[in-house]
Amino acid sequence: MPLSFRREYTGRLALQIMFADENRDVAPMLARLARQIGADEVQVNTPLRPGGKRPLDRIEIAGVINCFRDLSVRCVYEEPHRDVTPISPGDTLRRRGKG
């Protein structure tokens, strides 16, 4: 299915992949798939918001990124962080289970 989509879709294709302890070992397989699909960019993420999953640290993410080394990769740890102000701080806290 992904290959047939790519044959039809000729625009820019970016893959976003969330890595945690449970799936970091499949990074080599996902990298092969990204190459097969012909992804223009791979965005490597790990959960940074409060939740039930521990984020991979910078060293662990570096190991994941190494699998994608010949592709254009963006990483959550390398992107600039912007200070943002929530429109409704109370609603934001409730969505995160803290309100």
Domain housing 86: 2-95
Mean predicted confidence (pLDDT) in 16-42: 96
pLDDT at 98 over 70: no
Number of domains in the chain: 1
User: Could you give the percent of the chain with pLDDT greater than 70?
Assistant: 93
Residues 7, 39, 69, 67: what is their CA dihedral angle, to the nearest 10 degrees? -80
pLDDT at 2 over 70: no
Mean predicted confidence (pLDDT) in 25-29: 98
Beta bridge partners, 45, equal 18
pTM over 0.85, yes/no = no
Alpha helices (runs of H) in the chain, residue ranges in sequence order: 2-8, 27-37, 58-67, 89-95
pLDDT at 99 over 70: no
